[in-house]
Amino acid sequence: MTAAPPPVAVVGTGVIGAGWTALFLARGHDVVAYDPAPGAEPALRGAVGEAWPALTRLGLARGASIDRLTFTASAGEAAAVAMFVQENGPERRDLKQRLLAELDEAAVPETPIASSSSGLMPSQLQAMCGRHPERVLVGHPFHPAHLIPLVEVVPGERTDDRVVRAAMALYTAIGKRPILVRQELPGHVTNRLQAALWREAYSLVERGVATVADIDTAISHGPGLRWALLGPLLNQHLSGGAGGLAHVLEHLGPPTQEWMDDLGQPRLTPALADLLIRGVDDALAGVDQRRLVTERDALLVDLLQRKAQGTVLP
């Protein structure tokens, strides 16, 4: 007989926490949630309800139900009954300090505590846990968290290997594609890759080379289509034909180095931020953003279903 999925605590139920909650429920877990914000429980239940049709299309686990969600009165109460804790509090050290200390105090010693933090490194989070820092790591998802498979698992200096294996196994079991980040760095891996692209996008807008709409078109109707199927390095390898990456680097290496050397180094000044925001507003003029998100998510589900049918794509 297959063991029942372990109960999970989701602490912090904003956009990311709601995504985690919906996904854990869809994979058959009992979820105990907590968030101190006024109206957090009805907001969470509403968000799970909105996510449920897409998750149903992707396939629900046996016994999965939105009725397996309970909301508790404190973070400690949620952690005390869970076998895995997913923490999603604000990226503020003072709030994280209090929250993680409470979770560490309440959770049984064997329960991993994974933080969705993108801005704080796991060793910093471990220092906030006086009882069992060895069970703390980062499990960083990507929006929309209930659909995007990637999660970055980042152990800290004191994270036990058992906890790393447990987190990797649990995330895999709920349909995530975890990657193990082997060194602590600000932004982990994926946000650093995104930041490299954002930096040049901001620079091109600031210099008047292209509009916000042009840049988004360049990616979403160009390399972004390939990147959704294979990463940038495998795509580069395939562009070299029979010679592969070796051919590409031999023939395009020098100009590529010139392009990298010429990349901009913008500073996110208020003036640049205003320019970017106005560019986004112009690009979305007349667009129903709620319908945009609905259409995006529907196409994401289509893509995920088709990718799951592949036999060679990594």
Locate 273 and state its tokens.
């931020």
Q: For the packed helices 212-220 and 270-283, what is the interaxial angle rounded to 10 degrees?
A: 60
DSSP single-letter state for residue 130? S
3-state secondary structure of 136: strand
How far is the C-alpha of 145 from the C-alpha of 86, rounded, in Å?
Answer: 12
Locate 313 and state its tokens.
């794509």
Q: What is the pLDDT along the chain (314 residues), one digit of tens a residue?
A: 567 899 999 999 999 999 999 999 999 999 999 999 999 999 999 999 999 999 999 999 999 999 999 999 999 999 999 999 999 999 999 999 999 999 999 999 999 999 999 989 999 999 999 999 999 999 999 999 999 999 999 999 999 999 999 999 999 999 999 999 999 999 999 999 999 999 999 999 999 999 999 999 999 999 999 999 999 999 999 999 999 999 999 999 999 999 999 999 999 999 999 999 999 999 999 999 999 999 999 999 999 999 999 999 88
Residues contacting 13, CB < 8 A, separation 6+: 21, 33, 34, 35, 40, 43, 44, 47, 88
In this prediction, residue 3 carries a pLDDT of 75
Predicted confidence (pLDDT) per residue in 29-66, tens digit: 999 999 999 999 999 999 999 999 999 999 999 999 99
- For the chain, residues classed under CATH 1.10.1040.10 are 190-308
CATH-assigned architecture of domain 8-180: 3-Layer(aba) Sandwich (3.40)
Question: Beta 113-115 vs 8-11: how paired, if at all?
Answer: unpaired
How far is the C-alpha of 5 from the C-alpha of 226, rounded, in Å?
Answer: 35
Topology adopted by domain 190-308? N-(1-d-carboxylethyl)-l-norvaline Dehydrogenase; domain 2 (1.10.1040)
3-state secondary structure of 180: strand
DSSP single-letter state for residue 7? P
54 contacts 301 by C-beta, under 8 angstroms: yes
Nearest CA to 109 out of 89, 83, 73, 74 is that of 83
How far is the C-alpha of 123 from the C-alpha of 15, rounded, in Å?
Answer: 25
In this prediction, residue 144 carries a pLDDT of 96
Q: Exposed, middle or buried: residue 233 (CB in 10 Å: 0-12, 13-18, 19+)?
A: exposed
In this prediction, residue 2 carries a pLDDT of 67
∠ Cα 173 311 62 (to 5°): 30
- For the chain, residues classed under CATH 3.40.50.720 are 8-180
How far is the C-alpha of 49 from the C-alpha of 104, rounded, in Å?
Answer: 31
Q: Exposed, middle or buried: residue 179 (CB in 10 Å: 0-12, 13-18, 19+)?
A: middle
Which DSSP helix (H) or strand (E) runs through 42?
helix 40-58
117 contacts 90 by C-beta, under 8 angstroms: no
Q: Write the DSSP string, 81-97.
A: T-SEEEE---S-HHHHH
Q: Other C-beta atoms within 10 Å of 65: how many?
A: 13
Predicted confidence (pLDDT) per residue in 220-237, tens digit: 999 999 999 999 999 999
Partners of 32 in beta bridges? 9, 70
Task: Output the pTM of the full model.
Answer: 0.94
Residue-wise over 274-291: b if at least 16 C-beta within 10 A, else e?
A: eebeebeeeeeeeeeeee
Q: How far is CA 205 from the centre of its chain?
A: 26
